[in-house]
Amino acid sequence: MRMSAWTEMVFILVVVLDFFLLASSRLKAVIRAAAAQGALLAVMPLLLAWHTTELGHVLALSIGALVVKGIVIPRLLLWAIREASIRREVEPIVGFIPSLILGGVGVALAFAFSSAMPLPTPEQHAFIVPTALSTVWTGLLLVVSRRKAVSQVIGFLVLENGVFVFGLLLSDFMPAMVEAGVLLDLFAAVFVMGIVMFHINREFSSLDTEKLSVLKD
Amino acid sequence: MTILQSLAYLALFLVLPPLLPGVVNRVKSRLAGRQGPPLWQLYADLARLARKGAVYSRTTTWVFRAGPVVGLAAVASAGLLMAFGGAPAALSFAGDFILFAYLLALARFATVLAALDTGSSFEGMGAAREVTFASLAEPALFLCLITLARATGSISLSGMLGPALPLAWSRAAPALLLAAIALFVVALAENARIPVDDPNTHLELTMIHEVMVLDHSGPDLALILYGASLKLFLFGALFVRLVLGFSVQGLAGLGVFLAGVVAFAALIGVVESIMARLRLVRVPQLLVGASVLSAFGLVLLLR
């Protein structure tokens, strides 16, 4: 298979994982899928920019993404659900089938209209923008439609994955420092949310964020 | 030559299908560490059932007796439209894939009517479930076929699965791969295999397909079992041709095709061994997922 076909496959796998994230109720499987998506993102800069001179930069970007998105954060989340002993998302605000259909519509729109978007730099691959938009959309759906705090954190993670894909458009220009800052941000955010989750769980012995809305002082 | 080839494939289509459930069961038994029934078990079952007499409930009408006959006839005629192994189908015209899908739907309709005709609430429940899931599997099947039609630029099954397929694979591999995955899920759902329905259980709460044929006996049951194996073979043929989309001619092509169909049955056996049946409320999710996947494949082709 030619090089661009492999790249295409990676982009499509990322979108298929989006569908899986929207459809699955098992938190462990969802975290694993988010981790797999992170690992796929790590492959992307290498596939897209394997001929550039700044191999060091690309390599740093790739390894950073793999370690933070593919290994550290998923482990943290797996630890969190083990501590809180929850296994599945029950009754999300938007059901699994409607969110899957919404996701499908979003992906279709992203792929249909992304070519109409004016971009400052020439695209390295036609699938970058639609994949980024689809993944951001998926993350957004997960954040707003799930009740459990862990699911919302995963949604945030997926959202950031989408932003990362979008960032690949600029990977030739983006200093490694900026990317490192973004990854650190993400890590800090997930870390903080992990602690918050832990506290919510200890206070209510549940991770349902609905319960937070009845808090009174 | 091509006519002979098509006729040979049709003959195989009528003779070989009862072997497939045997392969599935053999794989399942082996993975579970059992000996398993012989591969030709279904042939023996069919022969036994054909010698028996049928018992009809007094509440049933001619609809009940017509059910198995219409079901088998519809599936067998769908076989006329199928391009087995990429060889031209016996009957082919523009848009025949719609007739193909609806002949399968007609077979299901006949079975459902026969089940409702018994007046048993139990069979009515099975019929309701079968129709619910079928209505979700149908969009997925059509989206797969439309993806295939779009990729090959042909709207007959012979064209879609014929010589245009290798070219389509080299141009639009990701879309066809997505369609193939969706098609496999549809095949599992349509043939009442495990993630959707368990062919082994006779547990009242979980039965879908089995429950509809409880009142059939003797030759009628034989017709239903034979029709089910024909349907499995049809889906196997479609899936195998889609996945092994290269052109092979003559006897080698026949060999590849048959090996592929056996591998398809073995794959179903593996899936049945490693997966549990999904809860009924989760089945629509799986089928909608298959539709979304194939729709995504179509979007990739359309842009």
How does pLDDT run across B226-235, given as a tens digit for each residue?
Answer: 999 999 999 9
The pLDDT assigned to A110 comes to 92
Tell me the sheet residues that pair with A148.
A208
**In the structure encoding, which two tokens stand for residue A24, read together?**
């699955």
pLDDT at position A131 is: 93
Of A1, A9, A97, the CB nearest to B285: A97
Give me the pLDDT at residue B30, please: 94
Give CA–CA dist B80/B75, Å, rounded: 9
pLDDT for the residue A50: 64
Mutation target to probe the B interface, by most B beta carbons within 10 A, among A18, A96, A138 is A96
Query: Residues A183-198: what's their mean pLDDT?
Result: 77
pLDDT surpassing 80 at residue B97:
yes
pLDDT at position B50 = 94
| A8 chain-B contacts, CB cut-off 8 A | 174
Residues 6+ apart with CB under 8 A from A130: A107, A110, A111, A114
Q: What is the pLDDT of residue A175?
A: 66
Residue A66: what residue type? L
Of B291, B293, B303, nearest to A111 by CB-CB distance is B303
The partner residues of A88 in beta bridges, in order of sequence, read: A26
Alpha-carbon separation of residue A134 from A19, A105, A156, B186, B250 (angstroms) = 10, 10, 14, 25, 45
Of B174, B293, B302, the CB nearest to A8: B174
Name which residue leads in pLDDT, B191 or B208: B191
User: What is the number of other CB atoms lying within 10 angstroms of the CB of residue B35?
Assistant: 8
Contact residues, B window 258-287, toward A, CB-based 8 Å cutoff? 284-285
The token duo for B67 is: 């059910």
Question: Comparing A61-75, A120-134, B67-81, which segment has the lowest mean pLDDT?
Answer: A120-134
- In sequence order, which ranges of B153-216 are alpha helices (DSSP H)? 157-161, 164-171, 173-190, 209-212
The mean per-residue pLDDT over the stretch A44-60 comes to 75
pLDDT-derived band at A172 (thresholds 50, 70, 90) equals: low
- In chain A, which ranges are continuous DSSP H helix? 3-23, 27-48, 55-65, 73-84, 96-113, 128-145, 149-167, 176-204
- Inform me whether the pLDDT recorded for A5 exceeds 80: no
**Which of B173, B174, B292 has the CB atom closest to A19's CB atom?**
B292
CB A187 within 8 A of CB A68: yes
CA distance A196 to chain B (A): 31
Average pLDDT for chain B: 91
Question: Please, what is the end-to-end C-alpha distance for chain A in angstroms?
Answer: 63
Name residues 159-178 of chain B within 8 A of A (Cβ): 173-174, 178
Nearest to A52 by CA among A164, A175, A177, A172: A172
Which of B147, B292, B301 best probes binding to A when mutated, by most A CB atoms within 10 angstroms? B292
Structure tokens that stand for B131 in this block: 């129709």
Asked if the model's pLDDT at residue A55 lies above 80, the reply is no
Query: What tokens does B56 get?
Result: 């009809």
Task: Tell how far CA A96 is from the center of its chain.
Answer: 18
| Mean pLDDT score, B59-78 | 94
pLDDT for B181 equals 94
When pLDDT is cut at 50, 70 and 90, the band that residue B46 belongs to is: very high
Instruction: Tell me the pLDDT band of A202, cut-offs 50, 70 and 90.
Output: confident
Please report residues of A whose CB lies closer than 8 A to that of B173.
1, 5, 9
Please give the pLDDT value at position B111: 94
Q: What is the DSSP string of A97-160?
A: HHHHHHHHHHHHHHHHHGGGS--SS--SSTTHHHHHHHHHHHHHHHHHH--BHHHHHHHHHHHH
Of all residues in chain B, the one with the smallest CA distance to A106 is B296
CB contact under 8 A, A19 and B296: yes
Backbone φ and ψ for A88, nearest 5 degrees, come out as -140, 155
Nearest by CB to A23, which of B285, B302, B303? Answer: B285
A192 part of contact set with chain B, CB < 8 Å: no
Question: What does residue B170 show for φ and ψ, rounded to 5 degrees?
Answer: -70, -25
Q: How far is B299 from chain A (nearest CA, A)?
A: 6
Nearest beta carbon to residue B289 from set A8, A100, A111: A100
pLDDT attached to residue A196: 77
The chain B residue lying nearest A115, using CA atoms, is B303
B10 vs A: CB within 8 A: no
**How many contacts does A have with B, using Cβ atoms within 8 A?**
48
pTM: 0.90
Q: Which helix (H) or strand (E) holds B24?
A: helix B19-31
* CA–CA distance, B264 with B184 (Å, rounded to integer): 9
B30 vs B36, B38, B200, B261, CA distance in Å?
Answer: 7, 12, 16, 19
User: What rounded mean pLDDT belongs to chain A?
Assistant: 83
Check pLDDT > 60 for residue A105: yes
Instruction: Transcribe B77-141 into DSSP letters.
Output: HHHHH--GGGSPPSS--TTHHHHHHHHHHHHHHHHHHHHHHTT-HHHHHHHHHHHHHHHHHHHHH
User: Given CB atoms, is B57 within the 8 Å cutoff of chain A?
Assistant: no
Copy the structure tokens of residue B267: 């794959």
- Per-residue pLDDT reduced to its tens digit, A64-93: 888 888 898 899 888 888 877 777 777 788
pLDDT in tens, B165-177: 888 888 888 899 9
Tokens of B240: 């195998």
HSE of A157 in the Cβ direction (CA atoms, 13 Å)? 35
Backbone dihedral angles phi then psi of residue A148, each to the nearest 5 degrees: -75, 140
For residue A26, list its beta bridge partners: A88
- Residues 5-64 on A with a CB inside 8 Å of B are 5, 8-9, 12, 15-16, 19, 23
Q: What percent of chain B has pLDDT above 70?
A: 97
Is A23 close to B289, i.e. CB distance below 8 A? yes
